[in-house]
């Protein structure tokens, strides 16, 4: 399996090369040259297959040339050591809980998979690899935890000052060792722009190995398809058309779900639910992709004004809006609507959602207005305690603090404050 740049002006590379490079020399995102569907029998009998076997069969074609079967099985066993339950809330509504991992966010799967792959590829290498990543919230903690102590890998995480939750900040600024947090005076888009600029700066790349752990990296992006399959396994017995609603920021998660569909998963439709950062909902209405500065919201992990992975989604559908519209709907919601959804869910079922999950719920309910007989699963992408101030302010309840969060609460924050790309470059060259 080779991977090619979506800008079509760079050589094809192996999975290993794509992971280490992060982004292609022509600034394009890497994409697998083919997606071979799994046999129909796989989905017919998926209830009898373990999650580890599902994961192995689904990801194998993308990595088999660079990772042996035994090593892949070992990596997946390490990555997938927690549960992915589908929890019913209403007759036709359930949530897929993706927060049972070490940092209590859906990004634990991709971050741990990439960390294990990069650690494997770095064995015996003399030159250290620097992982450079921008975060709007949960990516930073997941990457920090996944790469902590990995030999031959140094991690530098950029995050927007004052625009992540207190717990998210603790998770990415308190670990030390090979993890460095860079606090940027700006937005997530500013952080992401700095990261992309660094990859294209030959003054840096000629002297150090740089890669990204954002979902632009294929090893972060692709393994997210696995828990869509785990959810399908649990929901298949409902006997109704299954749809997924995904709270969407950089659009890597929902794009991975669409790859699972290309593998043959019998799911008919996806909903990309966003906050007021509505670039994609506007594109779906007008057919024009117009990035704009991101706006701060209570669902901060989705505060993205130019979602990197949407180009992969467009590519999956040959940039044909009509074809894409048959498989994707996208809606945006305000903070007021998000809080009202959190209240409604809590009153109706006693369930506590985080603001991102609530946006996913709103997208699902909007779609079901015209498709009431569908069985909808929305992603609960982070534990509500990670957004404790919003939950307490909205619901007047205080969820208990899980052990994964308790262990970072008392630690001292350590970060380096910057405002410009030149400051980042200076740090990378001299560290």
**DSSP class per residue in 3-61:** EEETTS-S--EEHHHHHHHSS-TTSPPEEES--PPPPHHHHHTGGGS-HHHHHHHHHHH
Query: How does pLDDT run across 81-119, given as a tens digit for each residue?
Result: 999 999 999 999 999 999 999 989 999 999 999 999 988
- Cβ atoms 136, 304 nearer than 8 A: yes
Q: How far apart are CA 11 and CA 173, in angstroms?
A: 37
- Whether residue 136 lies inside any domain: the answer is no
**DSSP class per residue in 289-325:** ---------SSGGG--SS-TTHHHHHHHTTT-HHHHH
Torsion of CA 293, 165, 110, 335, to 10 degrees: -50
Residue 86, exposed/middle/buried by CB under 10 A (0-12, 13-18, 19+)? middle
Q: What is the pLDDT of residue 346?
A: 97
* DSSP H or E run through 123: none
Q: What is the pLDDT of residue 390?
A: 94
Q: Which range in 238-242, 370-374, 409-413 is most confidently predicted, on average pLDDT?
A: 370-374
Distance of CA 320 to the CA centre of its chain: 24
- Read off the tokens for 48: 């009898």
Q: What is the pLDDT of residue 418?
A: 96
Q: What is the pLDDT of residue 140?
A: 81
Rounded mean pLDDT of 258-264? 98
The parent domain of residue 384 ranges over: 84-104+221-399
- Whether residue 339 lies inside any domain: the answer is yes
CATH code where residue 339 lies: 3.40.50.1100
Torsion of CA 245, 243, 58, 110, to 10 degrees: 10
- Whether residue 424 lies inside any domain: the answer is no
- Whether residue 182 lies inside any domain: the answer is no
Is the pTM higher than 0.85? The answer reads yes
Q: What is the pLDDT of residue 206?
A: 87
Q: How far apart are CA 345 and CA 391, in angstroms?
A: 12
- Whether residue 279 lies inside any domain: the answer is yes
Rounded mean pLDDT of 28-39? 97
Q: How far apart are CA 326 and CA 116, in angstroms?
A: 36
Q: 């997924």: which residue's tokens?
A: 244
Query: How does pLDDT run across 118-150, given as a tens digit for each residue?
Result: 889 887 777 788 999 888 777 888 888 888 988
DSSP E strands, 236-279: 242-247, 269-274
Torsion of CA 385, 390, 395, 397, to 10 degrees: 40
- Whether residue 301 lies inside any domain: the answer is yes
Q: Is the pLDDT assigned to residue 7 strictly greater than 80?
A: yes
- Whether residue 336 lies inside any domain: the answer is yes
3-class DSSP state for residue 343? Answer: helix
- Whether residue 20 lies inside any domain: the answer is no
Look at the chain and report how many structural domains it folds into: 1
Q: 């519209």: which residue's tokens?
A: 325
Q: What is the mean pLDDT of the chain?
A: 93
Q: Is the pLDDT assigned to residue 343 strictly greater than 90?
A: yes
């Amino acid at each position: 399996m080779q991977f090619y740049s979506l800008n079509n002006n760079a050589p094809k590379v192996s999975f290993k090369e794509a992971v280490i490079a992060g982004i292609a020399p022509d600034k394009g995102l890497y994409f697998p040259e083919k997606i071979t569907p799994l046999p129909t029998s796989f989905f017919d009998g998926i209830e009898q297959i373990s999650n580890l076997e599902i994961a192995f069969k689904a990801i194998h074609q993308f990595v088999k040339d660079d990772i042996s079967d035994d090593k892949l099985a070992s990596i997946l066993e390490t990555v997938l050591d927690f549960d992915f339950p589908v929890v019913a809330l209403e007759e036709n509504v359930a949530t897929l809980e993706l927060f049972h991992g070490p940092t209590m966010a859906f990004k634990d799967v991709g971050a741990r998979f990439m960390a294990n792959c990069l650690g494997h590829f770095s064995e015996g290498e003399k030159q250290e690899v620097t992982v450079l990543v921008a975060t709007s919230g949960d990516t930073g903690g997941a990457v920090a935890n996944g790469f902590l102590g990995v030999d031959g890998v140094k991690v530098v995480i950029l995050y927007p000052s004052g625009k992540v939750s207190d717990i998210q900040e603790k998770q990415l600024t308190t670990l030390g060792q090979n993890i460095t947090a860079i606090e940027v005076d700006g937005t997530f888009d500013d952080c992401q722009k700095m990261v992309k600029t660094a990859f294209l700066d030959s003054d840096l790349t000629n002297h150090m190995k740089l890669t990204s752990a954002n979902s632009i990296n294929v090893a972060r992006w692709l393994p997210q398809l696995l828990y869509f399959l785990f959810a399908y396994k649990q929901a298949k017995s409902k006997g109704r058309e299954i749809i997924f609603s995904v709270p969407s920021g950089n659009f890597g998660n929902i794009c991975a779900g669409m790859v699972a569909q290309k593998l043959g998963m019998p799911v008919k439709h996806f909903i990309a639910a966003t906050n007021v950062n509505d670039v994609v909902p506007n594109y779906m209405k007008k057919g024009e992709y117009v990035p704009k500065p991101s706006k701060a919201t209570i669902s901060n992990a989705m505060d993205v004004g130019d979602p990197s992975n949407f180009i992969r989604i467009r590519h999956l559908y040959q940039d044909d809006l009509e074809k894409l519209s048959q498989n994707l709907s996208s809606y945006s919601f305000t903070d007021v609507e998000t809080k009202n959804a959190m209240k409604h869910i809590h009153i109706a079922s006693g369930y506590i959602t985080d603001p991102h999950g609530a946006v996913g719920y709103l997208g699902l309910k909007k779609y079901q207005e015209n498709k009431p007989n569908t069985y909808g699963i929305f992603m609960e992408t982070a534990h509500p305690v990670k957004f404790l101030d919003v939950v307490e302010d909205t619901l007047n309840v205080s969820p208990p603090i899980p052990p994964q969060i308790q262990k970072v609460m008392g630690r001292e924050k350590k970060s380096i404050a910057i405002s410009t790309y030149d400051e980042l470059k200076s740090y990378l060259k001299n560290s």
